[in-house]
Structure 1
Amino acid sequence: MAERKVTRKDVLDAALAIVRERGEGALSARTVAERAGCSVQPIYSQFGDMRQLVRALYDHARAWVAAYNREHALDGCNAFESNGLAHLRLARTERPLFHFLYLSPHMDATGFAEVYDSVAIEGVQRCIEELGGLPPAEARELYLDMIVYVHGMAAMLATGADFSDEELVARMDGAFHCFAARSAADFR
């Protein structure tokens, strides 16, 4: 019987499952190989070493989160609220993955513009333009402010805080109105 060829995606999916369940600390060539149903040989032949696997896994996990965000694109009143709610839900329900993606050095952000480019979702800035009556540059700044604000709440959730959905939505709504008022004043 021929042995099944283990693909790069098989290895990444196995590593992602481990991170989602037990966190990055549980990753090793042996645990990934066991999960993928193979020896460690495909891991080293496809990635070279664990450091390279983790780099590739970061991008693979980001793609998983992008799909997650698309699945939850209609959970809020609009694209903007849905985006914030998805990030908060991810922090609450996928804590080890959230830590790996956003509370570790893997994000490698060196500036807020880079953060924006890395996490902004298409269509959300346009939604903010319409909601706040703002020009694109001001809407982008407000979106960045909200990314930072919502991420703070998400980090608290990921580390064990127990806020109700109502509290979270009220905080997001209040922050949006404050940031929008400031942006509108700055725009005049």
Structure 2
Amino acid sequence: MPEQRVSRERVLDAALAIVREQGEQALSARAVAERAGCSVQPIYSLFGDMKGLVDALYEHARAWVADYNRDHARDGKNPFESNGLAHLRLAQTETNLFRFLYLSPHLQPDSFEGLFASVALDGIEECIARMGGLDARAAHELYLDMIIYTHGLAAMLANGAGFDADKMRERLNAASLAFLAKAR
């Protein structure tokens, strides 16, 4: 019988499914292999060890979230609002994945600019600049402030807060207006 090759993508998809359903603590070579329908050998061949798998999984999960954000790009009144709402929704509906990506040692920015670089979406700064009549630097600062503010709400949601969706949207809008006044 010919040897069956197990792809990197298949292993990463299996690991991602485990994290989404059960959280990172459920990851093991055996669990991933079972989910991928293979032995543990391909995991070690492809990734070296579990740390290698988790490092690759982190980037794979970020790509999954980028697709998620694109799927929800029109949920708000504009791309800026849609971005914030998608982050909050991710915290509520994909709690284990949210924790893996944003509430774990895997996200280790060394500065606010490092944080910005790791989570900011293309086109949002330009949207902010147009909507607020801001120059590029002011739009960047407002976006960074909103990333930090929105992430605080999302972290509370991921830990079980039951905030009303309309009240959260009001808070986001109020914060955005306050940061806009500061930026001007």
- Structure 2 counterpart of 1:75: 75
> Which residue of structure 2 aligns with residue 158 of structure 1?
158
Tell me what 2:37 maps to.
37
Report deviation, 1:3.
4.8
1:1-188 equivalent positions in 2, closer than 5 A: 1-184=1-184
How many residues align structurally?
184
Q: Output the aligned Cα RMSD.
A: 0.8
What letter corresponds to residue 168 of structure 2 in structure 1? L
Distance 1:108 1:98 in 2: 15
- 1:122 & 1:168 partners in 2: Cα distance? 24
Structure 2 unmatched ranges of 5 or more? none
Normalised to the residue count of structure 1, the TM-score between the two structures is 0.96
- SS at 2:106 equivalent: helix
**Residue 83 of structure 1: CA displacement?**
0.1
Deviations 1:142-188 (A, max 9, x none): 0000000000000000000011210111011000000000111xxxx
Secondary structure of residue in 2 paired with 1:115: helix
Q: Output the CA distance in 2 between the equivalents of 1:81 and 1:108.
A: 25
**Deviation beyond 4 Å, 4+ runs, structure 1:** none
The 1-side partners of 2:154 and 2:80 are apart by: 16
Shift in Å, 1:19:
0.2
Gaps of 5+ in 1: none
SS in 2 for 1:31: helix
Cα distance in 2, alignment partners of residues 36 and 167 from structure 1: 42
Q: CA–CA distance in 2 between the matches of 1:63 and 1:2?
A: 33
Q: Which amino acid aligns with 2:172?
A: M
1 CA distance for matches of 2:4 and 2:70?
Answer: 32
Looking at structure 2, the residues matched to 121 and 30 of structure 1 have their Cα atoms a distance apart, in angstroms, of: 35
- Give the superposition deviation at 1:2: 3.9
3-state secondary structure, aligned to 1:16: helix
Amino acid aligned to 2:16:
L
Q: Distance in 1 between matches of 2:75 and 2:156?
A: 21
What is the alpha-carbon distance in structure 1 between the residues aligned to residue 56 and residue 17 of structure 2?
14
Sequence identity percentage: 63
TM-score by length of 2: 0.98
